């Protein structure tokens, strides 16, 4: 993925690429769309997780949350940095350029490794259920999440410190990228990204294939299950199907990035890099759409958020109306007569009994 948007420049010292104005406008509109929809969708997804008890009970929830946070960081931090560069004639801040690149590739690895962890989790839960609870305790799951983040960004350390490649501006296509050093013949991303991507995809594909075989066998025995057993099995199968859809969405978004980085790591065909930039950035908006369209718990969770919001607005309006009504009633009451109070006040000359 090219982690900075494209712009025109006339710097004669750089072997750069100029793009038509309409391409720049389209790119800007799409990037702003991804920022708004991605940030809003992933934020709402996080809120749904915290509000819905049924989702929090699912063993896969913490991994889905990790995937959502990775997407949220890209849409709310990385993409705005890219869009900022879109308005400038060159990278105005080399630190931000590098930060956007590292953040994107790091979170891309986090998403990919999280999908691997989810696939393995579903495999163990469905194919090897007896050992699932022992492996996926809260402590072990938290450790897995931490390791995913550490490994994802540790893979970029050689490029960050210039040991193997570097991070900076690619002058051919005028984007921030992982670059090869002058003494190197191969760009590091041409080796690292394909190995990481295809090895992870192989593990995920194998896991879901085994899950599919087990589900197919279990359907034949479904008639002998109790209703509660069938309901639990159907729920787990639905979650597995949801996770598989997320994996397919990830493939659709990032496979163009991998292929372009393999066959054109030197940036000889800038238009291909533009297309893969669009598809890879689409990943931040796809997952919330898949959650809502596929899973009933997510749909009910989103409905609950909006219904609670509308109920709060109505309740506040009703409370405000009642307050105004009470104030109007009080203001319409006649003033209090103080003569009665004067009658009961201290009389310095009280009447004597003989006066009566």
What is the C-alpha to C-alpha distance for residues 171 and 157, in angstroms, rounded to an integer? Answer: 22
Q: Is 87 exposed, middle or buried (0-12, 13-18, 19+ CB in 10 A)?
A: exposed
Q: Would you kindly state where each structural domain of the chain is located, as residue ranges? A: 21-310
Report pLDDT digits (tens) over 66-82: 999 999 999 999 888 87
User: Tokens 């990790």 label which residue?
Assistant: 66
CATH code for the structural domain at 21-310? 1.20.1070.10
Task: Return the pLDDT at 338.
Answer: 45
Question: Which residues of the chain fall short of a pLDDT of 50?
Answer: 1, 3-16, 310-317, 320, 338-356
Contact, 68 vs 43, CB < 8 A? no
What is the C-alpha to C-alpha distance for residues 140 and 142, in angstroms, rounded to an integer? Answer: 5
> Can you spell out the DSSP letters for 204-244?
HHHHHHHHHHHHHHHHHTGGGS-HHHHHHHHHHHHHHHHHH
What is the C-alpha to C-alpha distance for residues 186 and 178, in angstroms, rounded to an integer? Answer: 11
User: What DSSP designation does 185 have?
Assistant: S
What is the C-alpha to C-alpha distance for residues 30 and 23, in angstroms, rounded to an integer? Answer: 11
Q: Would you say the pTM of this structure is higher than 0.85?
A: no
179-285-300-235 Cα dihedral, nearest 10 degrees = -50
């Amino acid at each position: 993925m090219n982690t900075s948007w494209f712009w025109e420049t006339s710097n004669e010292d750089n072997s750069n690429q100029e793009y038509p104005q309409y391409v720049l406008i389209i790119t800007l509109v799409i990037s702003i769309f991804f920022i708004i929809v991605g940030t809003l969708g992933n934020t709402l997804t996080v809120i749904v997780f915290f509000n819905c008890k049924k989702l929090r009970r699912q063993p896969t929830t913490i991994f889905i949350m990790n995937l959502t946070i990775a997407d949220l960081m890209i849409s709310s931090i990385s993409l705005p940095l890219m869009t900022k560069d879109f308005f400038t004639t060159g990278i105005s801040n080399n630190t931000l350029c590098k930060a956007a690149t590292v953040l994107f590739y790091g979170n891309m690895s986090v998403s990919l490794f999280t999908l691997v962890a989810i696939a393995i989790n579903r495999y163990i839960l469905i194919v090897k259920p007896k050992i699932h609870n022992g492996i996926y305790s809260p402590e072990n799951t938290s450790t897995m999440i931490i390791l995913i983040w550490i490994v994802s960004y540790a893979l970029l350390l050689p490029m960050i410190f210039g040991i193997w490649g570097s991070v900076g501006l690619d002058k051919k296509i005028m984007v921030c990228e992982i670059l090869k050093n002058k003494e190197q013949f191969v760009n590091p991303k041409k080796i690292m990204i394909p190995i990481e991507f295809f090895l992870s995809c192989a593990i995920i594909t194998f896991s879901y294939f085994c899950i599919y075989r087990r589900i197919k066998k279990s359907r034949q025995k479904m008639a002998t299950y109790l209703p509660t057993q069938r309901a639990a099995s159907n729920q787990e199968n639905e979650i597995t199907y949801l996770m598989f859809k997320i994996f397919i969405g990830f493939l659709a978004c990032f496979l163009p990035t991998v292929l372009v980085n393999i066959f054109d790591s030197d940036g000889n065909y800038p238009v291909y890099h533009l297309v893969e930039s669009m598809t890879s950035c689409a990943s931040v908006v796809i997952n919330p759409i898949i959650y809502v369209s596929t899973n009933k718990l997510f749909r009910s969770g989103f409905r609950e958020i909006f219904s609670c919001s509308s109920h709060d607005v109505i309740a506040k309006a009703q409370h405000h109306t009642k307050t105004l009504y009470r104030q109007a009633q009080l203001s319409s009451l006649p003033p209090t007569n103080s003569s009665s109070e004067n009658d009961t006040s201290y009389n310095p000359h009280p009447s004597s009994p003989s006066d009566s």
